[in-house]
Structure 1
Amino acid sequence: MTPGTRRAGRAGLGLVGVLVALIWIFPVYWMINSALLPDAVLQSARPTFLPFGGSWDNFTAVMSGGTFLPALGMSVLVAVAVVAFSLFFAFLAALAISRFRFRGRKSFVLAVLFVQMLPAEGLFIAQYKLMSSAGLLNTALGLSVLYIAAVVPFTIWMLRGFVAGIPADLEEAAMVDGLSRTQAFLRITFPLLAPGLVAAGVYAFLQSWNEFTIALVVLQDESARTLPLWLRGFVQASASRATDWGQVMAASTLVAVPVIVFFLIVQGRMTSGLVSGAVKG
């Protein structure tokens, strides 16, 4: 294969990658574009691809309702709790099943896999009864408990692979240099687990931020809603009023902004842990 042919092949692959990226990002662009256009323009037969003459009226109307900030606060509170506690419990469990041999280890691993296979819809009645008897309906605590229980099994499997991929010899070498087992783990192994912890945290965050059905079951009070439930209020139009798609797109954009900010914060740390630990030669 000549150099010219290789360059042409790379250029073709690059063009395909650009086309795939454009197809992938078009729904996001269309959401933001529609959020800046009045509903009359959106309802017209001719699509408008550029928001010339657009305004922030849809965002102003969405924010003026007084319901966005409470829903945002509920979603942030639940997401932070789910990420923190899911990583804590899943990390300890993954460390135990990867580093130690104990009675019932295989049964525990199979139980985690079995729980992950259960359909969420089959648990709704039991979850509602449990939260109702505990007085946790319409509360961030009750919703967080259910989310943590749903997220932890898969998070354990994610972190188990990361922990098992780090040789225990690194800790043993550090212990030869005079560190205790705890110090060797915290200084050598734990920094190397940073990419796995970040990946598991991203998964837990997205699951709690975007989840709709469990929240619909547990949060029945209009004053206690997460952002997905809040967004539903814009889609469900009354019989006498058509859906204002401009406001729907503006609300969808506001829901997506915290996710974008979260990824901007963590994307630089996805690989930082790969070179954070070292062993003296």
Structure 2
Amino acid sequence: MTGPSATRRRPRPASVALGALAIVLALVWAFPVYWMLNSAFLPNVVLQSTSPTFLPFGGSLDNLRHVVTDDHFTSALLISLAVTLLTVVAALFIAFLGALAVSRFRFRGRKSFVLALLLIQMLPAEGLFIAQYKMMSTVGMLNSVVGLTVLYTAAVVPFTVWMLRGFVAGVPVDLEEAAMVDGLSRTQAFLRITFPLLAPGLVASAVYVFLQAWNEFTIALVIMTDEQSRTLPLWLRGFIQASASRETDWGQVMAASTLVAVPVIVFFLIVQGRMSSGLVGGAVKG
């Protein structure tokens, strides 16, 4: 096809250059992840070779099998899952109520409360370690899933409230009032009209809380002092130290890192589809 329409459809050089640059940046970002996965299937002798192996041909599952059969891997996995899921549920519940209060109601000190949420995020986490340890020790919650969940929830709630506040404020109150005119109570109007429109915000907040709780290391290092109560990041550190005490087996280290990262990837892939559908649904209903 020739003519003016074909000329207009031809991509501009600037667009092509930006697209190529985006692909290059994506490959640079994804290469460390691929290298971790690739190395997880290769023996340590191959990884120590001066010539890199970019494809795991001839590899095996020995590294993954060695990691899974580690004495403390299963317990660390279960503790991390329990702490993370409890933190997600508790943080979303508390932050959702806080976001509703800040966005839907006018009360004395509301602006100061919102400002305090931001100021809390500026506090260095390291400055709270001694107080957190003393508090958990006093109430007998050291090496406890509940104790670690409480600290994680307190750490993520301020920013989660700030995130959800924007979503709640973006839903007009007129929608609830119109539903109430049609005969619904305030609670019914909120659950049927407003709450579905807030699904994208809840999912986005859940992703944030999940990543923070799953990958957190320093608070767990202070609170979970017992070897039997370690989370996965703490277990991974101990696994690397044990490997380094003889000769670092990078294949096993990469396999352990892969197993730690897999739940995050699976969770994000599951939630991403629901987040996209929720965003589209919210846009149509709005």
The TM-score, its normalising length taken from structure 2, stands at 0.92
Q: Structure 2 unaligned runs (5+)? A: none
Counterpart of 2:32?
27
Post-superposition shift, 1:159?
Answer: 0.2
Partner of residue 83 from structure 2, selected from 63, 78, 103: 78
Determine the C-alpha separation between the residues in 1 that align with 2:72 and 2:197. Answer: 42
Determine the C-alpha separation between the residues in 1 that align with 2:11 and 2:244. Answer: 61
Change (3 A) 1:240 1:91: closer
Partner of residue 243 from structure 1, selected from 248, 251, 272: 248
Post-superposition shift, 1:102?
Answer: 1.1
Determine the C-alpha separation between the residues in 2 that align with 1:66 and 1:238. Answer: 14
Amino acid at match of 2:127: G
Q: Is the Cα–Cα contact under 8 Å of residues 194 and 272 in structure 1 kept in the other structure? A: no
Determine the C-alpha separation between the residues in 2 that align with 1:95 and 1:229. Answer: 36
Determine the C-alpha separation between the residues in 2 that align with 1:240 and 1:78. Answer: 30
Change (3 A) 1:14 1:126: same
Amino acid at match of 1:158: M
Counterpart of 1:102?
107
Residue correspondence of structure 1 range 1-281 to structure 2 within 5 A: 2-3=7-8, 6-237=11-242, 240-274=245-279, 275=281, 278=285
Amino acid at match of 1:56: L
Q: Is the Cα–Cα contact under 8 Å of residues 36 and 57 in structure 1 kept in the other structure? A: yes
Greater mean alpha carbon deviation, residues 265-274 or residues 233-242: 233-242
Amino acid at match of 1:211: E
Post-superposition shift, 1:110?
Answer: 2.2
Change (3 A) 1:56 1:238: closer
Amino acid at match of 1:80: L
The TM-score, its normalising length taken from structure 1, stands at 0.94
Determine the C-alpha separation between the residues in 1 that align with 2:204 and 2:221. Answer: 27
Amino acid at match of 1:111: A
Determine the C-alpha separation between the residues in 2 that align with 1:136 and 1:154. Answer: 25
Greater mean alpha carbon deviation, residues 155-164 or residues 175-184: 175-184
Determine the C-alpha separation between the residues in 2 that align with 1:278 and 1:14. Answer: 33
Q: Is the Cα–Cα contact under 8 Å of residues 243 and 249 in structure 2 kept in the other structure? A: no
Post-superposition shift, 1:9?
Answer: 4.2
Q: Is the Cα–Cα contact under 8 Å of residues 39 and 244 in structure 1 kept in the other structure? A: yes
Q: Is the Cα–Cα contact under 8 Å of residues 100 and 165 in structure 2 kept in the other structure? A: yes
Determine the C-alpha separation between the residues in 1 that align with 2:278 and 2:248. Answer: 47
Post-superposition shift, 1:3?
Answer: 3.0
Output one character per residue of 1:220-267: Cα deviation in whole Å (capped at 9) or x when no partner: 111111110011012214775122111110000001111111012111
Q: Is the Cα–Cα contact under 8 Å of residues 234 and 244 in structure 1 kept in the other structure? A: no
For the residue of structure 2 that corresponds to 1:103, the secondary structure is: coil
Identity over the aligned pairs, expressed in percent?
71
* Alpha-carbon RMSD: 1.8
Greater mean alpha carbon deviation, residues 269-278 or residues 151-160: 269-278
Determine the C-alpha separation between the residues in 2 that align with 1:145 and 1:152. Answer: 11
For the residue of structure 1 that corresponds to 2:60, the secondary structure is: coil
Greater mean alpha carbon deviation, residues 157-166 or residues 50-59: 50-59
